[in-house]
Chains A and B, each alone.
Chain A
Amino acid sequence: MRRIWAIIERDLRRFRRSPTLIIVSMVLPLVQLVVLGYAFGGKIKNLKVGVVDQDHGVPAIKLKEMFQAVAANARTFDTVPYSDQAMALRDLRTGRINGVLNIPPNFSRDVLAGASPRVALVEDNTDQFSASALEGSLDQLLVPYNSKSIQPRLTADATLSIVEIYPYVPYIQYLLPGTIVMAIFISAMIGGGIIYIDDKARGLHEGYLVTPIRKLELIMGFNLSGAIKAVLAGMVLVTCGSIIAGIPDPLNILRLARMAILVMAAALALISMMFLLMVRVNDPLVPRAIFGVLNTVLFFPSGAVYPIQGFPPWMRVLTAVDPFTYAVHGFKELVLKNTGLMAISFDIAYLLGFAVLTMAAATLLFRRTL
């Protein structure tokens, strides 16, 4: 036990003396949270839409007025009047505007004759997010335009009532669980991957191997010190990240305690996985080379940035074994819904089971000799 602690002590003393690594493993995920959180999921505003009125009738003017009202209030788009359709389309192609609303010459006649009047939206669909924002906004616009000025007294139309059981979750909050896991992962990657292999290459491990330390003591020492560093990074993200993302009551002790348990389970799982991956590696380039790939392969299939239900079947296999999935799910429950530990007991069990399995495999593969 004393020997395990000696390995941990050495690692933690070193950790304290190299603040750069501490900063990288904690600040990088925070920066990512803020940048990604605000880069995605914001309401799209001020798209430029050209309006070509070839009709000039009263219904067309009514439509244009409603259109301008949206432009003035919700500001999803700004209108740019065009007299010439060809010129509007040319500007659309050169990217000066994002869409063209075309009111055809016979629009008013069709409205008055009740002959399915049509307006056309020509959109730049290379940007799907802008295009669907534009479509959604125009669809909504046409509902009040079509509604009869005199409502029937009895209506048979079914309507859908939506009940939201949690307060509105902005994207930055949705992203926070993944970011916490990412911080734990980066710490595991730097401590359990890069520094571990660097030490091995420098011959530091050779110094340990000639002492009477046992194989299991050495592995436990490396793993626990890595896990402690990862827990520190995770807890910094849990507190700072919650404050930045505007989670209500971020410093509640009970909530932090629950989070700490999940952070520990996730840290153990990820550091054990890293140790298994690195147990036979000697070249310092390897952990650096696989860092990015591993991050992509673990982070994105976990449901941290997009719902799992949208994944193709092959990726769901990855999702099912990925420890990130369970850690992210657990943090979503705790961060966004403030549930108790019961709700995430399976996540914690999976992470601990994963840690035990990978540690056992790493111990089998670990060589006490050079």
Chain B
Amino acid sequence: MFDLEVENLTKCFGDFCAVDHLAFNVEHGEIFGLLGPNGAGKSTLIRMLTTLVPPTSGTARIFGFDIVRDANSVRQSIGVIPQAMTSDLDLSAEENMSIFAKLYSIPRDKRRRTIRELLKAVDLDQWADKPVKMFSGGMRRRLEIARGLVHEPKIFFLDEPTTGLDPVSRVAVWDMLARLKSQRDLTILVTTHYMDEADKLCDRVAIVDHGKLVALDSPLKLKASIPGKNILEVSFSEVPSGWEDVLKRLPEVADVKSDDHVFRISSNNGPRTTTELLEAARTAGIAVTSLSVQSTTLDDVFVHYTGHQLRDALQAPPASSSPFMIPRG
């Protein structure tokens, strides 16, 4: 049995389907990454899985509990870190944890012990009694991770846990997640749009676009699945006619894309293509003005499968952007 089974899960708002017949399974103990451009339906998917939004059709089961029919059993067994920072800024770290422990009906003596352990695990034990409004973004995120684990769930949902954090805090959050995962035997489902993070940390990655699953595999296999193992970015002093065809005929070249005089070449053998390319340029009497060779990254996989890098879409502004709210923290 899988920890999480998603079957044809769909959520439509009127004519628009944010999540469109998604199906996948998450195995026990893996870190499962959901990648997708803004508006791809990642947050809606997480909200359905965490019982916050009822699905239009289809279903999902977490440890066998149906997310609609057994919503309360699902809530008892999942840990959730929503996208918004949801800690109470006027309360201390410990108080925030304590309120949630009470919401999960954890008995008093166990409550104290668990809270202490978890705050230590996320390196916040020395700030336990300080109000959260004095915490940095990274500290707040770590506190929320600890809070989400207060009832010892076996599966953990995180919606963009590192968005808005500085690089150091991002690394700290991921290290913490990796450590907690092995210590606590967790299954983790996480959405992110930092490809490097997904590459390094996720056991498997699902790429979602327009609410549909477009690719699902381990980062290594995904990278191998697209044509070209290396990407060459090269520009020349001048570009004679038919030059793109010359480049395409170079050995091991899988694909060539050009933008004015800059060429992006996918190659199955970076070093060999590079040598031949320089040779061809010298023969043609053209100077190479810049050249870079990179390994395929998840970014390339992402662009390959979604076909675009930037997506403009209109969406309703979040209520939290209102200028009328009483400022806190």
Contacts and interface: CB of A to CB of B under 8 A. Distances in A.
Interface residues of A, number: 35
A313 to B, nearest CB: 37
Given A210-B51, A210-B52, A203 B88 contact: no
Contact of B95 (A7, A13, A194, A209): A13
Interface in A16-49: 17-18
B322 A201 contact: yes
A202 B324 contact: no
Given A9-B99, A208-B103, A370 B84 contact: no
A206 B51 CA distance: 10
Interface of B: 47, 50-54, 72, 75-76, 78, 80, 82-88, 90-91, 95, 99-100, 102-105, 131, 318-320, 322, 324-326
Given A202-B84, A202-B86, A210-B75, A3 B105 contact: yes
Given A10-B88, A203-B85, A194 B326 contact: yes
Interface stretch (A130-138, A280-288, A332-340): A280-288
Contact of B75 (A13, A204, A212): A212
B115 to A, nearest CB: 14
Nearest to A282: B319
B80 A201 contact: no
A85 to B, nearest CB: 59
Given A202-B325, A210-B50, A212-B104, A284 B319 contact: yes
Contacts of B86: 202-204, 206-207
Choose among B90, B103, B131, B324 the residue with the greatest number of A CB atoms under 10 Å from its CB.
B103
A207 B78 CA distance: 12
A177 B266 CA distance: 81
Given A14-B88, A211-B75, A369-B53, 6 more contacts: A13-B90, A203-B83, A207-B100, A210-B78, A212-B72, A370-B47
Given A17-B131, A201-B320, A210-B51, A10 B99 contact: yes
Nearest to B151: A211
Contact of B324 (A5, A17, A195, A288): A288
B312 to A, nearest CB: 25
For chain B, what secondary structure do more than half of its interface residues adopt (helix, strand, loop), or is it mixed?
loop
A260 to B, nearest CB: 28
A212 B76 contact: yes
Given A201-B320, A210-B80, A18 B90 contact: yes
A150 to B, nearest CB: 76
For chain A, what secondary structure do more than half of its interface residues adopt (helix, strand, loop), or is it mixed?
helix
A64 B115 CA distance: 87
Contacts, number: 97
A213 interface: yes
B104 A211 contact: yes
Nearest to B73: A212
Choose among A214, A282, A284, A288 the residue with the greatest number of B CB atoms under 10 Å from its CB.
A284
A283 B322 contact: yes
A2 interface: yes
Nearest to B318: A201
Contacts of A210: 50-52, 75, 78, 80, 82
A230 to B, nearest CB: 18
A17 B47 contact: no
B90 A203 contact: no
A203 B82 contact: yes
Contacts of A202: 84, 86, 320, 325
Given A3-B103, A18-B90, A284 B322 contact: yes
A6 interface: yes
B282 to A, nearest CB: 60
A282 B76 CA distance: 27
Given A210-B75, A212-B75, A203 B52 contact: no
A369 B54 contact: yes
Contact of A284 (B51, B95, B325): B325
Choose among A7, A203, A207, A369 the residue with the greatest number of B CB atoms under 10 Å from its CB.
A207
A313 B2 CA distance: 68
